[in-house]
Amino acid sequence: MSNNSAVGIHDLSFATTEFVLSHEALAEYNGTEIGKYHIGIGQRSMSVPAADEDIVTLAAAAAAPIIAKHGNERIRTVVFATESSIDQAKAAGIYVHSLLGLQSACRVVELKQACYGATAALQFAIGLVKRDPDQQVLVIASDVSKYDLDSPGESTQGAAAVAMLVSADPALVRIENASGLFTADVMDFWRPNYRSTALVDGQESVQAYLQAVEGSWKDYGEQGGRTLEQFAAFCYHQPFTKMAYKAHRHLLNYAGFDTDKDDIERAIGQTVAYNTVVGNSYTASVYLALAALLDQADDLTDRPIGFLSYGSGSVAEFFAGTVVPGYQQHLRTEANLEVIARRKPVDYAGYRELHERSFPADGGDHPTPAQTTGPFRFAGLSGHKRLYQAR
């Protein structure tokens, strides 16, 4: 295998939570007109973690089917992207490494830059595989998005994990070399160490996102990237699905194209299906968009897809991937639909109770109630240590 061989996403799997809160239940509680959620932000429900679920259990559940299919002999690196980290020192991926029984000859790291982190992980993984095409890299994006109860951000919460196996000669998507980059220091969304919920300036965040779309697209062109009309579809980071439409309209305007409603729907429409019902999964969101697109599109063989990954604060990247012939034989469509369908509806009071759960910081024994039916559970804290179980 030469160092110039194609590298990209060989397999992709995702997981979400045990519970789901419908936006109807939220609207009924707070008196909001349901159209504000269904149409205004383009959301229908949000995934809610059980008391014994967190970014580790979601990540392990997302990655387990990939390990079951491909084995772990070639995986010498795990990159875990998250912005809802559980520890300031130890990478969450080490717990996942343990739960999945990965080999000890493996590096594991955690990456952080708001919702952009998983794209950094993917790009770093590609570099490692190009250096040694016999290796594979497990990239995991896992997040629980949490805002204050009764705050404007509450309706955009969600949780999910996406696992991707990055390899040479990938079966799903070849990632192209050209990448457009953009960084700006803005305070649109952040979470200080002393807070469990994020702070967000909604208006500022939309503007910062659109500025990043312009900046990363401009740089992508300067790096010799494709022209806009070549793309079959676009996967955007979706803090709420309406943002993808807003961003694509802005990109078309910026690039001097008409913003035809049908064209926008063709470019974006099939990418929002999972995010609409899962809510904002932060780092996982743009790759949940890819999963939805691949699962629903008729045939994308040899067609390029545009990716716009945005992380508040802010960093963005625009890059392209080409869908590999035969990709449809490697999709996990039924499993993906089942992951979403298996969630149990929770009422507003039940969701609120889960949202308000926290652990004393006394280092005592604090078991979690057994709620999840997933393959892994967060069993609780003891001696300041997190305990995990495979079921």
| Residues with a known catalytic role | 83, 115, 237
Question: Which residues 6+ apart lie within 8 Å of 194 measured at CB?
Answer: none
| Residues 129 and 2 sit within 8 Å (Cβ to Cβ) | no
DSSP state of 114: T
| Residues 168 and 5 sit within 8 Å (Cβ to Cβ) | yes
| Residues 146 and 196 sit within 8 Å (Cβ to Cβ) | yes
Long-range contacts of 301-304 (CB under 8 A, 24+ apart): 301/325, 301/326, 301/327, 303/232, 303/233, 304/176, 304/226, 304/230, 304/231, 304/232
Fill in the amino acid letter for 272: V
Residue 230: Cβ-neighbour burial (10 angstroms; 0-12, 13-18, 19+): exposed
Q: Distance between CA 166 and CA 191 in Å, rounded?
A: 30
* Separate counts of helices (H) and strands (E) for the chain: 12, 17
β-bridge pairing 45-48 and 19-22: antiparallel
Question: Which residues 6+ apart lie within 8 Å of 301 measured at CB?
Answer: 323, 324, 325, 326, 327
Provide the Cα torsion 329, 332, 338, 339; round to 10°: 180
Task: Return the sign of the alpha-carbon dihedral for residues 68, 50, 161, 192.
Answer: negative
